[in-house]
Amino acid sequence: METCILLPLPDAKLQHLIQQAKDWALTHGITMRTKKNPNSSEESTYAPHLLLPSPVPRQLFEQGCAVQKDFNLLYHRVSQDYEFLKNALHGAVQVDVFTRRLWDIYETVRKEGISQPVSLGLFRSDYMMDCSGNSHSTQNHNKKLRVVDMKLKQIEMNTIASSFAGLSAQMTQFHHYILDLCDVDVNSSTIPENSSYNDLGKGIAEAWELYGNKSAAVLFLVETVSTNIFDQRWVEYGIHHHNSHIKVIRKTFLEVHEEMDLSEDKVLTLSGLEVAVVYFRCGYSPDQYTSEKEWEARLTIERSRAIKCPNINYHLIGTKKIQQELVREGAVEKFITDADAVARIRATFAGQYSLDLDAEGDKAVQMALDNPDRFVLKPQREGGGNNTYGEDIRTVLSGIKDSEERTAYILMERVHPFSFKNYPLRPGSEVRCMDMVSELGIYGVLIGNGETVIKNEQCSHLLRTKTLETDEGGIVAGFAAMDSPYLV
C-alpha cells in the first residue's frame, strides 16, 4: 500500500528526520522509563515509535470508530448476565488457576451483594486490516491492494488496563511535525485528531463525580515496576484537565493491602483517605499476584463502594473465551436487538473456535493440527507475548489434545494484514526501512448503573505497528511501536 511519502528516503534526509524525531519525542512526552532503571524518572528514553505515519484505509478506520459504541453496549450487557458468563467460562475456570481466582471473587461479591452498582469501562477494541481475500499476498507490498477487498477484523476486546491513550495522542502531533519537515500537506482528514487521554480522563472524572464525595480520591492501581508511567500520567493529567480538584494517588497491590480498611458500610480507605474510583493499570496477569496479599487486596476492592475500572464483571468479559462465545450464532442477538448494530459487530468477527472437550472442540483441534498456519492459539491472558503461532500450535495441541487443559485456550482464525514500508525507531537499534503491519485500537468509555447505561462514547484511537515477521503486538512487551494512521 502507498505510504505518505516516497520511500526509501535519501540518507541525509533520513538522518536529519531521525534526530528531529528523537528530540521531539523526548520533548513532548513520547517517553518511557528505561529497563535498567524502571522505577525512577531520573532516566527515561523515547518510546518505540514509527518515523512516519502508516497507511490505514479510511473506510476501515471509520468502520472501527462507528462500531465501538455497539461493542461497549454489547460487553456491558454481557457483564450483567450471570448465566452466560458461567456457561461460557465453565471450562476455563476448571483448568486455568488465574481465571478461577477471578471467578471466585466474582461469585463472592455476587453472593454478598454488590456494594457499588456503578461500573466504569475504559475499553479498547483492537483490529487488524485483513487482506487474505485479496488476490495479492500480504508480503507483496509493491502490488496494488484494493481497499474494497480488505476486511476489518477484531483481534480482541480489552477491558482492563487499556494502555497508550496518553502516548498515542502525542503521536498525532509528532507526525504532523515530521510531515511538515517533509513538505507534505497534512490535516485532520489525513491524520485524525486524537484526544484519547483526555477522553479517558474525563470518563474517570465523571465516575468520581457519581461517587458523590468531593474529598475522596482516585486510585491508580499500578505495577511494582512501571516503565510505562508516562502514559499513565497523561491519563492523570486528563482527569486534572476535567476537574483539577480530584486527588489522584498511585499504589501497588501490596501498598493497598498494607493501608486498606473497609468499613461496615463498604467505604474503602487507604491510610484514612477515602477512595472513590479504582483505575486498574495492573492485575490483568498472574505474575502480578505474587502472594495471597494481592488477592486479598483485589477482593477487598471488589467488596467496596469504590467504583472499579474495571469491576470484576468487566475483567471477566475481556477473556478470550467470551470473545469466542460471542461469535456463535444468536449470541450477539441475545444482547443487542438493533439489527444494524448486530450487523456492524458481526462484520468485524474473525473465525473463533471452542476447544472444549466435545465434538466441536475435537473438530477445531484437528483443524489446527492439520493446518496450524491458519490459526492463532490464545489463552485467557492479557499483556502481549501469550499467544501461540504456526508449528508451535501443533506442538502445544499435540500435548494437550486429549486433556481438559485444552479448554483454557481458544482457537482463532489468523488475520493477514497488508504490509507497507516504514522506519521503526527503537532505543539502541539501527533505523532501517522495513516491512511493517499495523493494529488499530479504538477506545470507548461506558458508565453504567446496573443494566442502565449512563454514558456510552467512542473515544479516539491507537495505532501500533510492528515488523512483518513479528507475531505479537504489545509495546511494553517489546514487540510493537507507537504510530499514527495516515488515512488513504
Catalytic residues: 124, 156, 158, 163, 320, 378, 382-383, 464
What type of residue sits at position 400?
I
Q: Which residues contact 399 (CB under 8 A, 6 or more apart)?
A: none
What single-letter DSSP state applies at residue 288? G
Strand partners, 411: 353, 377
> Which among 218, 197, 209, 195 has a CA at the least distance from the CA of 122?
197
Residues 405 and 355: their CA atoms lie apart, in Å, by 9
DSSP codes, 350-411: PPEEE--SSHHHHHHHHHHHH-GGGEEEEES--SSS--EETHHHHHHHHHHTTSGGGGGEEE
> Which among 213, 340, 338, 200 has a CA at the least distance from the CA of 269?
213
**Going by DSSP bridges, is the β-strand pair 424-425/452-467 parallel, antiparallel, or unpaired?**
unpaired
Residues 171 and 194: their CA atoms lie apart, in Å, by 9
Backbone angles phi, psi at 202, to 5 degrees: -65, -40
Strand 352-354's sheet: what is its strand order? 352-354, 409-413, 375-379, 388-389
For residue 419, is it left (φ>0), alpha (ψ between -120 and 50) or beta? beta
Give the position of cell 484437528. 366
